[in-house]
Amino acid sequence: MVMDVAAADSGAQLLLATSSDSSYPPENMIDGKSDTFWTSTGLYPQEFILSFTSLVNLKNIKLQSFQVKGLTIERSVQQDPTDFETLKKAQLSPSDASLQMEDYKVDASTAKHLRFIITSGYDHFISIHRLSVEGSPVT
C-alpha cells in the first residue's frame, strides 16, 4: 500500500537540520501543511535528514519550497544515517512569489534515511513548506 511515509503521523522523523529557528522548526516540513515551514538561517549548503521507521520502497518525492536553487537528494539503507548515495540532483527554477512544486520519481529505490542538501538558493534564505514521500514499507 502506497502512502506518505514521510508524514510525522506515520512515524517519520527529522534527525538533523543544519539551521533552526524556533518559530519555523524542521518538523514543519512533515506536518502535512503548506502554510507552515522550515527556514534556513543563511549560508549554503543547508541540509536535513529524514528517517523512516523502517526500510521503505520509494515511489515519489514531492517538495514544496521557496527560493531553493540547487538540490541534492541522497539515500541510505543503513540502520544509522551513514553511507549515503546520490538519488537525484536538481536545479530548480525561480518561483518569484509562489512556492516551487517539485515532483521526483524514484521508483525501484529503497531507503531508511533521506538526506536533502540545498547547495544554493535564489536568496540568502530558503524555506521548505512541505515534504512528502510516496512509498511503502519493505516486507
The pair phi, psi for residue 67, each rounded to 5°, is 70, 10
Q: CA 89 from chain center: how many Å?
A: 13
Distance between CA atoms of residues 133 and 126, nearest Å: 20
Q: What is the pTM of this model?
A: 0.96
Residue 64: predicted pLDDT: 97
Distance between CA atoms of residues 12 and 4, nearest Å: 10
From first to last of its 139 residues, the chain has per-residue pLDDT tens of 889 999 999 999 999 999 989 999 999 999 999 999 999 988 999 999 999 999 999 999 999 999 999 999 999 999 999 999 999 999 999 988 899 999 999 978 999 999 999 999 999 999 999 999 999 999 8
